[in-house]
Amino acid sequence: MMQKIFVSFGAADRPFAERLVKDLSALGAEVIYDNPLNRPNYSYDWALRRDLEATDALVLIVPEPGSPNANLAFFEAGAAKASGKRVVAVLPTPDASRAREAPTDALAVFYGSRLTPAALAKSIFTTLEAA
């Protein structure tokens, strides 16, 4: 079964997110990762609702506190959780401030700096597949 995954991240984590999206896609996942704010002619809430309805799970790349779009990433994760979607969190760096921000109700929290990008994607993919 193909997994449909929404990847949410802050602006500073775009390179990390794009690598993760590439690796998840290589495993067979269909991934949505572009910020709904970037969709012309659509409101953010409409685009987010549509994207979440089309996916099975959300991967939150835990943003650095106070970074651009950090609040949006957490909002998207909360909306996914409220919609009954599986949510996993990824800490892209070993920064303690990010670790404190990781959602406590996530299905799993992954430490991205401890795994190769491909191994991180495989761990996320396998966790979501098993849930």
**pLDDT exceeds cutoff 70 at 35:** no
Section 13-40 average pLDDT: 86
Output the pLDDT for position 1.
63
Q: Read off the pTM.
A: 0.90
Q: What class does CATH assign to 4-130?
A: alpha beta
Give the tens place of pLDDT for each residue, 104-126: 999 999 999 999 999 999 999 99
**pLDDT exceeds cutoff 90 at 51:** no
Burial class (CB in 10 A: 0-12, 13-18, 19+), 91: buried
Output the pLDDT for position 26.
96
